[in-house]
């Protein structure tokens, strides 16, 4: 099971393929994003059936959800409606820069992401 878990890309690895997929300028559903990522990373049915420790959600879906959340906080994508995403002008500029990977460190250069991260950390500290 651990071996299967290790073959599933982490949420940061999923970021660039998500932005790239949305680069066509069209809105895409979460299911379309998942299908694209599944193909990009050649994930097997067995890998897609690995769940988070709580058993509440498939691990791959969980990681894709986190990736989308982080990209939204940075302003690279937006919700068109529940479960449907579209690349923003900021996201388009990132693609135009010809970057080949996106991770948390990269997202820190966006003011919205920095603000969200600082607020989140302050809330964590005040709750501990």
Task: Name the H helices within the chain.
Answer: 2-7, 11-21, 30-40, 45-48, 59-73, 89-96, 104-107, 111-126
The number of folded domains in the chain is 1
Tell me the per-residue pLDDT of 85-122, one tens digit each, with 9 for 90 and over.
999 999 999 999 999 999 999 999 999 999 998 887 77
Instruction: Please report, to the nearest 10 degrees, the dihedral formed by the alpha carbons of residues 95, 58, 84, 13 taken in order.
Output: -10
**Global confidence as pTM:** 0.91
Residue 56 lies in domain: 2-126
- Report the alpha-carbon distance of residue 128 to residue 119 in Å, rounded: 14
Residue 49 belongs to a domain with what CATH number?
1.10.10.10
Q: Which residues contact 1 (CB under 8 A, 6 or more apart)?
A: 50
């Amino acid at each position: 099971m651990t071996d299967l878990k290790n073959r599933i890309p982490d949420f940061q690895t999923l970021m660039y393929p998500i932005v790239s997929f949305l680069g066509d300028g069209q809105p895409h559903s979460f299911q379309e994003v998942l299908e694209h990522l599944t193909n990009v990373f050649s994930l097997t049915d067995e890998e897609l059936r690995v769940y988070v420790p709580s058993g509440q959600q498939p691990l791959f879906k969980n990681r894709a959800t986190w990736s989308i959340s982080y990209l939204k906080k940075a302003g690279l994508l937006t919700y068109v409606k529940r479960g449907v995403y579209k690349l923003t002008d900021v996201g388009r500029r990132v693609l135009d820069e010809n970057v080949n990977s996106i991770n948390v460190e990269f997202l820190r250069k966006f003011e919205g992401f920095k603000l969200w991260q600082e607020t989140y950390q302050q809330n964590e500290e005040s709750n501990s």
